Amino acid sequence: MSATGIGAPVRRKEDSRFLTGRGTYTDDINRPGQVHAFLLRSPHAHAELRRVDTTSAKAAPGVLAVFAGADMQVGGLPCGWLIHSKDGNPMAEPPHPVLAQGKVRHVGDPIAVVIAETRAQAKDAAELIVVDYQPLPAVVAGEDALKPGAPQLHEQAKGNLCYDWHLGDKQAVDAAFAKAAHVTRLDIVNNRLVANPMEPRAAIGEYDRASGEYTLYTTSQNPHVIRLLMGAFVLQLPEHKLRVVAPDVGGGFGSKIYHYAEEAIVTWAAPHVGRPIKWTAERGESFASDAQGRDHVTHAELALDKDGKFLALRVATIANLGAYLSTFSTAIPTYLYGTLLAGTYTTPAVYVEVKSAFTNTVPVDAYRGAGRPEACYVIERIVDTAARELKIDPAELRRRNFIPKDAYPYQTPVALTYDSGDYFTTLDMAMKAADYAGFAQRREAAAKRGKLRGIGIATYIEACGIAPSAVAGALGARAGLYETAELRVHPTGSVTVFTGTHSHGQGHETTFAQLVSDRLGLPLEMIDVVHGDTNKIPFGMGTYGSRSLPVGGSALVKAMDKVVNKGKKIAAHLLEAAEADIEFKDGKFSVAGTDRNVAFGQVAFAAYVPHNYPIEELEPGLDETAFYDPKNFTYPAGCHIAEIEIDRDTGDVAVVRFTAADDFGRIINPMIVEGQVHGGLAQGIGQALYENAVYSDDGQLVTGSFMDYCMPRADNLPSFDVATHATLCTHNPLGVKGCGEAGAIGAPAAIMNAVADALAPLGIGSLDMPATPERIWRAIAAKTMPQAA
């Protein structure tokens, strides 16, 4: 291993820029003549708009233009994934207008935009817009929305149902339940979350009259996807006239994948006002307009035989999609959820039904893990419950049902084929590191201090590296999911990598450079990684679903292969040897078995100054692009163990220990991987104990600021104990699986299993997330002093 190659814990190249305030985020960009947009948003969750009068606002100081829904007749925001219901019918796909057309459907739904010289002027003018609302009854819970008589959101979605989807063999599952020795049942809620990246969303739209070109600067995880969706579906702008730039982006966690109204508004309005237009969300707007995550209500049943072998899993889920279909919303509770319900186990039959509902809440879409945390939560909570009911140690019950080490490739009953894995080893590693064996003693010691201590295991598997395009297409995806890389070797041998993935905290500038350093033998200073600008990079699909390295990294490997192959031809010419005899190693092309060689830089120079060059057979230059379409998903997996203590008097939960043993395939930079795991764990623990998007019955987001929406903070978290064990991905050239989401997938179940373990001696059953102090206190009080609760 070289000091800068694969496996080296290289410090992140990008960090000096970020940590010294020299990053360039969208809001840092100020275009000449720039003006500011402010959106008037609905204060009602559901209302008819009888009249929107912008006359006085237009006359206010500094105002250039005011547009309401009637003024902006463009396409609606598209949904990128078509789901079919059980009965074969396509999902309900109601329009998602950029600015409300006659009706608003959630608090924060944009009604009009004011464009003014300053932000304050735009805000002042927005107060002058007169809106005549006819409030309508609202519905906020997915279950309630599907009940007869519920307020109806869209004409096109009868009963607020988007689709009623299923997957798996129902008959096989029913048969297995009929012969089961034991059935465990569980009702659980997967709480709604707000992504809350540190950087709020922002967008700048600009139009160049001379060239007819539009530029959109935006806080996006995937600028080409935005260009495609906005250009082709919303604004009908040809792609060669539309440039989308996603510069430094301060976190996304999924919420910056989607095409949002504000992007279309500033782009569309720029030629109307003849000035570049900037919009930046205030934190309150982020709460009211960034796509939110999770929000499932699930009933699950697990059938077991007398030895504790899983026979079948039956799952029924209601997913809340919010008021409109966000870009990938429809795929999350279906193909990213149902397909993961086999988990790490040999459960031979699985059947899942998912009804997705429209409600008067902010749209819901992918959030770190996206569907997979929800699946993991169902499986790992019910497995733990079964272990408790059957009095089998939860680790032992898992071992009995793990997919054997020699069973790969393993076909699950819910469509996926796992290529590799070893759940036994990660479980053992985690148990050892967590001193699982010594827990009973720690529990006793805690009891002496008046604390209830619990330990909880969760194993998980995810499907990452999204995705083989043909598979995704067959399942309803409306886009391809390959990735691209261009490797531009410069005449003096330095290189620039242009990747279609996008880094918004993941450290690609370092990890991708390490791949190049490893293969081409160049120091990191000679390698730059460029992303996020559709005018620079080849057409790429961006970053989400832990796909950057498995898919984007693989594209880069292919591009490097092409560069090395061409380099060999050039070197053969320079060394007057046969191409077949040329080897490339440590940055040198050499003739096999001799000490005759040329350095990579010399070959690059020859390619651009082709004085002595095989010009008849070979084009000059050393600049290669590759597209990589994955053959399968990748399957990171692992085991998390949480240990918690509950204060009996207050119900407060303290996480005292957290261990993770993960299999991410080959590790390129262990330090970055560790950081990704830490961040994911913090979010997973946040979901389990602190975070919750709460709507009042009339659709107001009660937790609309950090004063009420509780983010996990450093003092809520223990020092994590993390380790990795690699089984290599068998179908991508790097053997990598992806690591970005794992922490958020395993942690909620591990924590909630630990809470359940701590409370089990009191006879307390399953509690829902977040396990807030009051929730726990009430459960304890109901058992110990029934009159109090």
Partner 1 sequence: MYNFEYRQAQSVADAAKAVGADEEAKLLAGGMTLIPTLKQRLAKPSDLIDLGGIAELKGIKREGNAVVIGAMTRHVEVATSDVVKGAIPALSHLAEGIGDPQVRNRGTIGGSIANNDPAADYPAAVLGLNATVITNKRRIAADDFFKAMFETALAADEIVTAVSFPVPEKAGYAKFPNPASRYAVVGVLVARTGGAVRVAVTGAGPVVFRQKEMEAALGKSWSADAIAGVKQSAGGLNSDIHASAEYRAHLVTVMAKRAVAAAG
H/E stretch holding 400 reads helix 394-401
Whichever of 444 and 774 has its CB closer to partner 1, that residue is 774
| Inter-residue contact 6 to 668 (CB < 8 Å) | yes
Min separation Cβ 274 and partner 1, Å: 27
706 lies in the site for partner 1, by CB under 8 A:
yes
The radius of gyration computed from the CA coordinates of the chain, to the nearest angstrom, equals 27
707 lies in the site for partner 1, by CB under 8 A:
yes
Residue 133 carries which side chain, given as an amino acid letter? Y
Tokens linked to 743:
């922490």
377 lies in the site for partner 1, by CB under 8 A:
no
Burial class of residue 169 (count of CB atoms within 10 Å of its CB; 0-12, 13-18, 19+): middle
710 lies in the site for partner 1, by CB under 8 A:
yes
Q: Cα–Cα–Cα angle for 755, 759, 760, nearest 5°?
A: 115
| Inter-residue contact 630 to 550 (CB < 8 Å) | yes
Task: Give, as ranges, the residues between 758 and 777 that touch partner 1 (CB under 8 A).
Answer: 772-774, 777
Min separation Cβ 458 and partner 1, Å: 23
Out of 15, 583, 649, 697, name the contact with partner 1 by CB under 8 A: 649
User: Residue 281's closest CA among 362, 227, 200, 181?
Assistant: 200
- How many residues at the interface with partner 1, by CB under 8 A? 25
788 lies in the site for partner 1, by CB under 8 A:
yes
Distance CA 62, CA 122 (A): 8
User: Residue 740's closest CA among 483, 191, 223, 370?
Assistant: 370
Distance CA 20, CA 670 (A): 24
Whichever of 496 and 716 has its CB closer to partner 1, that residue is 716
Residue 17 carries which side chain, given as an amino acid letter? R
Whichever of 351 and 690 has its CB closer to partner 1, that residue is 690
Task: Give, as ranges, the residues between 276 and 335 that touch partner 1 (CB under 8 A).
Answer: 284
DSSP string, 195-241: ---SSPPEEEEEEETTTTEEEEEE--S-HHHHHHIIIIIIS---GGG
DSSP single-letter state for residue 306: T
Distance CA 749, CA 373 (A): 9
Whichever of 74 and 717 has its CB closer to partner 1, that residue is 717
Out of 166, 490, 778, 782, name the contact with partner 1 by CB under 8 A: 778
DSSP single-letter state for residue 687: H
Whichever of 631 and 778 has its CB closer to partner 1, that residue is 778
Out of 703, 721, 723, 733, name the contact with partner 1 by CB under 8 A: 703
Q: Cα–Cα–Cα angle for 227, 232, 238, nearest 5°?
A: 75
Min separation Cβ 590 and partner 1, Å: 58
Min separation Cβ 303 and partner 1, Å: 38
Whichever of 279 and 460 has its CB closer to partner 1, that residue is 279
Min separation Cβ 133 and partner 1, Å: 20
Min separation Cβ 196 and partner 1, Å: 12
Whichever of 406 and 715 has its CB closer to partner 1, that residue is 715
Min separation Cβ 778 and partner 1, Å: 7
Min separation Cβ 127 and partner 1, Å: 8
User: Residue 99's closest CA among 38, 41, 56?
Assistant: 41
> Pattern 435-464, binding to partner 1, x per CB under 8 A?
------------------------------
User: Residue 299's closest CA among 387, 162, 188?
Assistant: 188
Min separation Cβ 697 and partner 1, Å: 13
Binding site residues, partner 1, CB under 8 A: 120, 123-124, 284, 649-650, 652, 690, 694, 702-703, 706-711, 772-774, 777-778, 781, 788-789
